[in-house]
Amino acid sequence: MQTIEFWFDFSSAYGYFASLEIDSLARRCGRTVQWRPFMLGTAFRKTGVKGLSSTPLKGDYARRDWSRIARRHGYAFALPPFHPIVALPCSRAFYWIEERHPDAAAEYAKRVFHAHYVANLDLRINDAAAAVAEQLHGVDAVALREALDRQETKEKFAAISDSAVERGIFGSPFFLVDGEPFWGWDRMAQMEDWIRTGGW
């Protein structure tokens, strides 16, 4: 089955909203989803863009927008008081899990988003990233916690982020469908239209 590449940063609220919608979109289109966390900060270094929350005017707009999106769709949403963060630990954990338990990776990502945007878990902390993995069947959270301190775990994720940006991925969420890029939660309908019609 053909796939949708779903790139996101765990600290991105629009990424969180997309994570709540991508599965049903993919199901409607007969596609699988490839979950792909990366570091938005890596893209920012290339684009020279700052994060939404640290951009005057845009930051205020985004906060208002996140709340109204959550209200409209009935999504649980509590912006962590320490937002935005550099979500390295859980992103590294994601790829460690994916390598060992490919079927558990998407579930881990969903639980991380939930833990952060509903329970306000601090994703900057290695212990927090490992704690979320404890909920997953068959994943050795202790081994994961140890791996998070290892250089190879860090380098693997850094390489994935670098290569994403090399491919032109610069925002969260960002989708690739048969090579066609779609940027933003608000472009998911356009992407679905593209898939269903075969492009235009």
Question: Which positions lie near its own copies, rule CB under 8 A?
Answer: 43, 46-50, 55-58, 60-61, 64-65, 68, 71-72, 165, 168-171, 181, 183-184, 186-187, 189-190, 193, 200
CB of 23 vs its own copies, minimal distance in Å? 22
Structure token pair of residue 11: 């600290």
Nearer to its own copies, 102 or 179 (CB): 179
CB of 76 vs its own copies, minimal distance in Å? 16
DSSP 78-143: ---TT-S---HHHHHHHHHHHHH-GGGHHHHHHHHHHHHHTT---TT-HHHHHHHHTTSTT--HHH
Nearer to its own copies, 27 or 64 (CB): 64
Give the pairing type, strands 180-183 and 174-177. antiparallel
Q: Are 53 and 24 contacting, i.e. CB atoms less than 8 angstroms apart? A: no
Nearer to its own copies, 3 or 47 (CB): 47
Q: Tell me how far apart the alpha carbons of residues 160 and 88 are, in angstroms, rounded to a whole number.
A: 12
Q: Are 144 and 94 contacting, i.e. CB atoms less than 8 angstroms apart? A: no
Nearer to its own copies, 121 or 195 (CB): 195
Nearer to its own copies, 46 or 150 (CB): 46
CB of 71 vs its own copies, minimal distance in Å? 5
Residue whose tokens read 């920012």:
44
CB of 49 vs its own copies, minimal distance in Å? 7
Nearer to its own copies, 27 or 50 (CB): 50
CB of 22 vs its own copies, minimal distance in Å? 17
CB of 120 vs its own copies, minimal distance in Å? 24
Q: Tell me how far apart the alpha carbons of residues 3 and 101 are, in angstroms, rounded to a whole number.
A: 19
Angle (CA) 13-19-25 rounded to 5° is 135
